[in-house]
Structure 1
Amino acid sequence: MDVPVVTAADSERDQRRVAAELGRRGIGRGDRLVVSASASPALLAVVLGALRTGVVPVVLDPGLPPGERAALVADADPALDVADEPARLLTGEATAELAPWPLARPMHYTSGTTGRRKGVWSGVLDDADARALSAEEIDLWGFTAADRHLVLSPLHHSAPLRFAVHTLLAGGEVLLPGPFDAARAAQVVTGLRPTTTFCVPTHLQRLIARDDVDWSSFRVLAHAGAPCPEPVKRAVLAALPAGSVWEFYGSTEVQFTVCSPADWQAHPGSVGRARPGRRLETDERGQLWCAVPRWARFEYWRAPEKTAAAWRGDRVTVGDLGRVDPDGLVWLDGRREDLVISGGVNVYPAEVEAVLDAHPGVVESAVVGVPDDDWGQRVVAAYVGDADPAELAAWARERLTAAKRPKSLHPVGELPRTSTGKVRRLDLPAVLGL
């Protein structure tokens, strides 16, 4: 099977070449390097070679429209832009020394589901914090030299890049099968026997529906990025080795929780407990705040007012709404930007979606508010599945108060999403013709 396999040794050799080339060009600690390429051994070498010399890679989606890409590059103000050609930094044979671990975090731009993208900047860390940052991730997922990590999501997003990078730092291998295709992914899982992967629920939905996947090699399958429909989650738990299916809740900016298989099975719908070294609580508006260690701090690039709004001392919020129960389990209600106010009543889309998703004829749903002359906003829902809209409306009437019931229900072939699987709620009204 023709799938690139990146070994830690080969990658380290290339990282040293990248470091030497950056030094030759006079690019050093705190400088920014833009790269916007598809997953490849060269991309991983450039990211890690830069990070281990204190250069901050700004990793952009290679599929961005030219105008949007140009705006982000101008905002990042890089010392160098290698665009979709990371191998340009691997042309020489000279090598340079590397720090044992990354001295910074890559700079990513938020995914933009609720407005203008923001750069997430952590600067260059001191030695102790840099070591702690990598140790936290490696220890949490137990990465070792025996791991073979399967990349299913684009590496310009923070979570898939983080998993791949830390597998290599731990001495393991990374499989790069290319853009997600369920049939090819099934072949890779069955034939090359990865031990770990990160994915989003869309991947799980497409893979679990197949009967040609041998899941037995996995010790960790971690998913995040969007809510996973309960029937899909239960099917995945049943198909994979016991104890291997994990979930986490985080964002481009910061990681919040981890949910073990046991916690989810005992408390379906929870996103787990605070990661080690973190503490979660809510404010008077139901907004979640997380106290984080020093190495997890960040600011919004060149946006001090947004940075100030996100932080209270060592606590940070990204605007998500939820609750922390007496046992320390975290439950999400959605984002404040997604909140629908209908007739003066706060309606959280996640609550309505949970009811709709529980219908046997619904695969997944998404809820949004649209302007209404009488109510301010009215609740509408799109869903994937074969449920009859009238039957689904009756189902909702039995389980939701009047203000929370969708005023219209729209079956669709698929929901509009970002490349990480998050539903683009802002696009729903246009998709539905509302």
Structure 2
Amino acid sequence: MADISGLPGFYRIAEADPGRRAVVDTDGTVTTYGELLATVNRVSHGLRERGLGRGDVVAGVLPNGVDAVVMLMATGQIGLYYVPINWHLTAAEIDYIVTDCDAGLVVADPSHAVEGALGGVAELAEGQPETAPDDRSSGAVMWYTSGTTGFPKGVQRPLSDSTPEETVPLYTWFLGEVCDLRPGDGVHLVTSPMYHSSPCAHTMFALHLGHTLVIASKFEPETVLELIDRYRVTNAMMVPTMFHRLLRLPEEVRGRYDVSSLQQVIHTAAACPVAVKKAIMDWWGPVLYEYYGSTESTIAFAVKPGEWLERPGTVGRPAPTFQARILDEDGKELPPGEPGMIYVASNLGGFEYRKDPAKTAASMRGEWYAPGDIGYLDEDGYLFLCDRRTDLIVSGGVNIYPAEIEAALLEHPAVADVAVIGVPDEEWGHTVVALVQPSPGTRPSREELLEHLGPRLARFKHPRVVEFRDELPRTPTGKLSRSRVRQEYLAR
């Protein structure tokens, strides 16, 4: 392969080394950098032909695969916002996001029926030239994330007037500082759905670093080991649930696969138990890199393997360009070792929730953003998390918001009141539990309520446990006391 270490990102790498392997798709099909760039350029022209210009929005309901990659890179060079949508959502949930983001165009895989959507990228690319579009400028991904209201909001960042070649080097430098990822002949394994922010971002930046993408359609422990072995994977992004499942494989299965090629396995999205992380590094070596942040803050804290082994349990120190503070409820800064609300700030650029200035303002204290978690800094500035925000459930590395589930259950006539909580689970992080107070004179069943949720919420949001209560605790003002619900449930 050619030396691409000095080239500023995917588009220039593809021009300089078109035969370089870019993508190994879920079915094993290989796409080169030159072939990928040709399709990306054709789709960029196709988007413009349909009247989409700088600042407009394109949404994609696409499973992991080369089409999802094409949409990221095509919108990324013509100043568009791209909204990747979770294909597991119901039609109503998808429609809400499409409407809220004002998508000028929706591209969906033919297996996912989305009204008014184009069936894949081929329709956009048809008849278009393979040359680079004129007036190129950097686009941005606008990920949708739910808030405590249960309604997803787009996290929107200002667009740059610069070309990708002018903006990408800053971000590849940042990723190198945090994760030791460098331009070259690396191989990145995509293990998670690309509609999530971290897997999506790592997919893009693997290409900007000249790496090969090996895409798994979904996470299966032995399949992932086989792909690491076969393609000599050097880096991947995972969540702690995956580590749980990998460690549960029998020793003889683990021993079949050579994982010595791994150099960086980055994990985020949920707290990883110390014993689990140590067990993975005993198996794979000191290759686990961790960062903590959110869709809004991006990577705010990071820790490399050696640092973590010296301070087990930390999620790291502030990443480059970031500052951190721990404040009490009155906004007073707390000393090392004392838990409080985490606030971060960075000069990398801010964000806003699309069409929701009130929500944007509520998440900030001046220039400081609160991810909503409680933690403390040690004397050396390393962050230790104490708890997630009170209401958030993190299951399998995915954020689940109780208010959304509660609102859907309250639509059932037999539900008078409901509290949804997350209960600690060794494998998934949290299990979703719904405690239901039936309406007088009714006796709903668990099956009936889950059937009711079917068209309203994606299955990963459905409670695994449904229990019934005569009454749910409330505060003196009448507000549901979820903390008391949780305490009483766990005490039992």
The farther-off stretch of 4-13 and 37-46 is: 4-13
Q: Is the 8 A contact 2:79 2:136 kept in 1?
A: no
The farther-off stretch of 138-147 and 30-39 is: 138-147
Aligned pair partner of 1:38 in 44, 63, 82: 63
Are 1:11 and 2:57 matched, yes or no? no
Q: Is the 8 A contact 2:78 2:136 kept in 1?
A: no
* TM-score, normalised via structure 1 length: 0.75
| 1:91-140 Cα shifts (integer Å, max 9, x gaps) | 23413426999723301111568722221111312426565345423554
Q: Give matches, 1:137-156, under 5 Å.
A: 137=175, 140-141=178-179, 142-156=181-195
Q: Which runs of 5 or more structure 2 residues have no equivalent in the other structure?
A: 1-25, 110-118, 330-339, 395-401, 403-418, 428-459, 470-488
User: Residue 116 of structure 1 aligns to which amino acid in structure 2?
Assistant: F
1:159 and 1:326 map into 2 onto residues whose CA distance is: 29
Aligned pair partner of 1:246 in 267, 275, 289: 289
1:268 and 1:327 map into 2 onto residues whose CA distance is: 14
Aligned pair partner of 1:256 in 280, 300, 303: 300
1:139 and 1:97 map into 2 onto residues whose CA distance is: 31
Are 1:294 and 2:333 matched, yes or no? no
User: Residue 215 of structure 1 aligns to which amino acid in structure 2?
Assistant: V
Percent of paired sites with the same residue: 28
* TM-score, normalised via structure 2 length: 0.67
Are 1:95 and 2:130 matched, yes or no? yes
Are 1:269 and 2:313 matched, yes or no? yes
Structure 1 position 383, deviation (Å): 3.9
Q: Which runs of 5 or more structure 1 residues have no equivalent in the other structure?
A: 340-348, 351-367, 369-376, 386-423
CA RMSD of aligned residues (A): 3.1
2:79 aligns to what?
A: 54
How many residue pairs were aligned?
A: 361
Task: Pick closer, same or farther for the CA change 1:282–1:200 going to 2, 3 Å.
Answer: same
Structure 1 position 66, deviation (Å): 0.4
Higher Cα Rg, which structure: 2
Q: Is the 8 A contact 1:280 1:324 kept in 2?
A: no
Task: Pick closer, same or farther for the CA change 1:338–1:236 going to 2, 3 Å.
Answer: same
Structure 1 position 143, deviation (Å): 3.3
Structure 1 position 240, deviation (Å): 1.5
Q: Is the 8 A contact 1:58 1:107 kept in 2?
A: yes
The farther-off stretch of 121-130 and 154-163 is: 121-130
| 1:221-246 Cα shifts (integer Å, max 9, x gaps) | 0011111122211111111233x211
The farther-off stretch of 60-69 and 84-93 is: 84-93
User: Residue 190 of structure 2 aligns to which amino acid in structure 1?
Assistant: V
1:99 and 1:14 map into 2 onto residues whose CA distance is: 16
2:313 and 2:31 map into 1 onto residues whose CA distance is: 35
Q: Which SS does the other structure have where 1:302 is aligned?
A: coil
Task: Pick closer, same or farther for the CA change 1:58–1:185 going to 2, 3 Å.
Answer: same
Structure 1 position 5, deviation (Å): 4.2
User: Residue 83 of structure 2 aligns to which amino acid in structure 1?
Assistant: V
2:462 and 2:136 map into 1 onto residues whose CA distance is: 39
Q: Is the 8 A contact 2:137 2:161 kept in 1?
A: no
Q: Is the 8 A contact 1:6 1:174 kept in 2?
A: no
The farther-off stretch of 146-155 and 228-237 is: 228-237
1:44 and 1:305 map into 2 onto residues whose CA distance is: 33
Q: Is the 8 A contact 1:121 1:298 kept in 2?
A: yes
1:432 and 1:137 map into 2 onto residues whose CA distance is: 48
1:99 and 1:335 map into 2 onto residues whose CA distance is: 46
Structure 1 position 208, deviation (Å): 2.9
2:71 and 2:149 map into 1 onto residues whose CA distance is: 30
User: Residue 344 of structure 2 aligns to which amino acid in structure 1?
Assistant: C
